[in-house]
Amino acid sequence: MTQITRRAAFLAGASLLATPALVRAQAVRELTFYYPIAVGGPIPRIIDGYCEAFQRETGIKVTPVYAGSYGETLTKAVTAIRGGAGPHFSVLLAAELHNLRDMDILAPFEDIEGAGNLNAWTDGFFPAFMANSKAGGKTWSVPFQRSTAVYYYNKDMFRAAGLDPEAPPRSWAQLIEAGRKLTQDGKWGVKMSNSAGNGQWTFGAMANQVGHKLMNDAGTETYFNDPRAIEAANFWRGLAFDSRITPQGTTDWGVLAPDFLNQTTAMIWSTTGNLTNMRTNARFNFGVAGLPGKEGPRTVVGGGNFYVFKNATPAEQAAALRFARYMAQPELAADWCMKTGYLATRPDAWETESLRRYTAEFPAALVAKEQIPVATGELSTYESQRIYKALNDNLQALLSGSKTAERAMADTQAEADRALRPFRRT
């Protein structure tokens, strides 16, 4: 009796193992993904809704885990994967590509079963958003919650200060001039963040505003010593120490939106992903504009991509890719754009009826898209977290007055050189 039962069990187990991968792919019932939140508003509810819709269509339950800021999500995902129990896929900063490849935890999309014709799909994204996705002849991520840096300004405060609310600053000189009029007792003209995890984004935009790029495409070199990088740093320092239209010291990312909504700051440099949050919560007239440059508007792209991890089984990887494809459908991308303000990552989404109607009625939603041609890529290197910290530490020293722009940039470059030295030998 026992003999037969045991043999039956063995056979059942063996046949299960021998089942072709294709059949097992259908057997995937659950996926977990980590998800960072960088803006206000009911983002978790929106994501939950998409996951439920995906489950209705495919029968696969996707459990999103909201894991904090971009930096915290990266830490949690990598820790969990090294502990052998990580998520199957995750949204992480697009700029972490080199860093993540160096950790050897990603599954390139070409190696995923049933990937099919990837190029036909990936060519449909804005090229600016695919800039951090391909390396070594493979695709490592696809864009999802992507943004450009823009600024929000309070039209009521503009009017009260005698400024034209329909002609927001387009150049550094105009920004300083407007800021001087807007700054008064207890109210700041402009705020941008130099806190841990955020300063490098702001500074990437400023470097682009003088036509400078901070790193090479391979992610092995940085150019903080360049006179134009120093010029950008000096501009920022001047806002706090010369024209005094922004606070000295560290400005946290988290206070920007509340300060703007409380009308204690007239302009904030933020992400387009905050647009719907502003639209819902602002009790005053506000506008959105492209960041001013030295001469004309210049900005930086930002935000997160879908990455699939190689510790997931082939079937789980296939299911994760399916979810990424699902989220990139034009109708869904358009819906995401309208509900949050993040950019629909594909031109075809902007052609949908719903998004056309939305932008016609709320033109501010188009501002971020118009910035794509003047946007540079986010600072992306190997050892990115180390270099972000070096840069942000020095930006904090710069803004608290303990270092000059030259010193801050030289120190950042020295630390970056130290961190990147091992990657230049190969």
Where does this chain bind other proteins (CB under 8 A)? 71, 74-75, 78-79, 101-104, 186, 195-197, 247-252, 255, 262, 264, 383, 385-386, 389, 392-394, 396-397, 399-400, 402, 422
Question: What region, left, alpha or beta, does residue 30 occupy, with left being phi > 0 and alpha being psi -120 to 50 degrees?
Answer: beta
Nearest residue (CB) to other proteins, 208 versus 251 = 251
Q: How far is the CB of 327 from other proteins (least distance, A)?
A: 28
Cα angle, residue 341 at apex, residues 336 and 343 outer, rounded to 5° = 70
Residue with smaller CB distance to other proteins, 325 or 407: 407
Contact 232, 209 (CB under 8 A): yes
Q: How far apart, in whole angstroms, are the C-alpha atoms of residue 324 and residue 312? A: 15
Which of 160, 255 has the CB closer to other proteins? 255
89 DSSP β-pair partners: 33, 308
Residue closer to other proteins by CB (options 26, 79) is 79
CB of 205 to other proteins, least distance (A): 20
DSSP assignment letter at 64:
E
Provide the minimum distance between the beta carbon of 252 and other proteins in the complex, in angstroms, as a whole number. 7
Closest separation between CB of residue 253 and other proteins, Å? 11
Listed in order, strand segments (DSSP E) in 51-115 are 61-66, 89-93
Measured from the CB atom, is 285 or 402 closer to other proteins?
402
Q: Smaller CB distance to other proteins: residue 356 or 418?
A: 418
* Shortest distance, position 397 Cβ to other proteins, whole Å: 4
Of 300, 264, 269, 261, residue with least CA distance to 380 = 300
CB of 148 to other proteins, least distance (A): 25
Rounded Cα gap, residues 175 and 426, in angstroms: 44
- Cα torsion for 235, 95, 415, 206, to the nearest 10°? -10
